Amino acid sequence: MNTLDVVWLPHELGGASLEGRAVIVIDVLRATTSITTALAAGAERVIPARTVEQARALAVDLPGTLLCGERGGVPPDGFDLGNSPGGFTPQAVGGRILVFTTTNGTAAIQAVSSASQLTLACFRNAKAVVGALARAAESAPGGQAPAALRDVLIVCSGRKGRLSMDDGWCAGHLTERIQAKWPQVRLSDGARVARDFAVGAGAPTPEGLAETAAGRAIGDLCLGDDLKICATMDDLSVVPVWRDGAFVKGGEEEG
C-alpha cells in the first residue's frame, strides 16, 4: 500500500480522480453503522438514494422493498424504518431489499459512487474493514496489492457541510490500524490529524459520541440508545461492498 488519505468532508475531494484507490466512506452517526448493521442482520442489499423523492421512486420500481432513512434525524412520512441501527433486526430486514436515504451519509456515498472499490466503515466493523484490505492484498499474485488497493482514501461524511468529530474519530482508528499493518504507507495530513486525534481520544464511548454535534442532535431526539450501538467496537465482521448500485455483504463472511 502506497498512500492513505483521509478527507474530513466530501467536498475536499474537489473532483479528484478515484482511479486506483480503495475508497471507504464513514458516517458513524448513523448511516454507515445502520447499513452495516442491516446487512449483518440479513438484508439482501441496501440501495442508497440521494433524496427522499428518489428513494420513494426507487421503492415504487422495486415492490417489496423497505424505505429507510431520515431527514432531521427522523423517518420521513411513509418510511418503514428510520436511521437507528437498533431497528435493523433480522426480523425487520432479513431477506429484504432496503432503499436508504440520509442527510449526510448517502450524499457522501453518491460523491464517490464511481470508485472501482467502495466499502463502508464504522466502529462496529473497523477490524473487518482492515482485514478485508489485507485479504485482498494477500490474494493478489505475489502478495502484491492490486491497483485498487495501492492507495486508500477514507471519506468522512461530515454533518451539514461541516466536519464531524465522530467520523474523524473512526477514520483515525482505521488509519492507526492500517499503518500498523503496512508501516511503509504514506499518510496525508488529513490522515495524520485523524490518527493523532483518535489516539488521544481512545476507544469510542457513548458519552464521547454524545459530546459531538451529531451526538447532541441524536440525544435531543431521545435516541440515546443509538449512541451505545454506534460506539460498539469490532463486534461485526461484515463489510458493506458496493456492487451494481447497491451495498451487499462482504468481509469475513463474503463467500
Whichever domain contains 69, its CATH number is: 3.90.1560.10
CB count, 10 Å around CB of 140? Answer: 13
Q: Is the pLDDT of residue 48 over 80?
A: yes
Residue 147: what pLDDT? 56
Answer with the residue of higher pLDDT: 118 or 17: 118
User: Which pLDDT score is estimated for 253?
Assistant: 47
7 sits in which H/E element: strand 3-7
Residue with cell 424505505: 67
Q: Is residue 48 assigned to a domain?
A: yes
Report residue 20's pLDDT band, with 50, 70 and 90 as the boundaries.
Answer: confident
Portion of the chain with pLDDT greater than 70, in percent: 94
Quick check: is 20 in a domain?
Answer: yes
In a domain, 254, yes or no: no
Q: How far, in Å, CA of 195 to CA of 193, rounded?
A: 5
Residue 86, Ramachandran bin (φ over 0: left; ψ between -120 and 50: alpha; else beta): alpha
Query: 68-89 pLDDT, tens per residue?
Result: 999 999 999 999 999 999 999 9
What is the Cα–Cα distance from 157 to 102, expressed in whole angstroms? Answer: 11
Q: Please report whether residue 255 resides in a domain.
A: no
**Farthest-apart Cα atoms in the chain, separation:** 53
Tens of pLDDT, residue by residue over 137-169, are: 776 655 555 555 679 999 999 999 999 999 999
CA distance 167 to 134: 22
* CA R_g for the chain: 17
Tell me the pLDDT tens digit for each residue of 179-197. Answer: 999 999 999 999 999 999 9
CB-based contacts of 126, cutoff 8 Å, min separation 6: 170, 173, 174, 177, 233, 234
Residue 244 resides in a domain: yes
| pLDDT number for residue 144 | 57
Q: What is the pLDDT of residue 245?
A: 94
**What are the grid coordinates assigned to 209, written together?**
459520541
Span 89-112, average pLDDT: 97
Joined grid coordinates for residue 99 = 432503499
Nearest-angstrom CA–CA distance, 131 and 115: 20
Residue 160 belongs to some domain of the structure: yes
What is the model's pLDDT at position 141? 58
Q: Cα–Cα distance between 106 and 83 in angstroms, integer? A: 12
User: How many structural domains is the chain composed of?
Assistant: 1
C-alpha distances (whole Å) from 13 to each of 38, 81, 176 are 28, 31, 22
pLDDT tens readout for residues 217-253: 999 999 999 999 999 999 999 999 999 999 999 865 4
Residue 45 lies in a domain: yes
pTM of the predicted model as reported, rounded to 2 decimal places: 0.94
Q: Give the structural domain span for 122.
A: 3-248
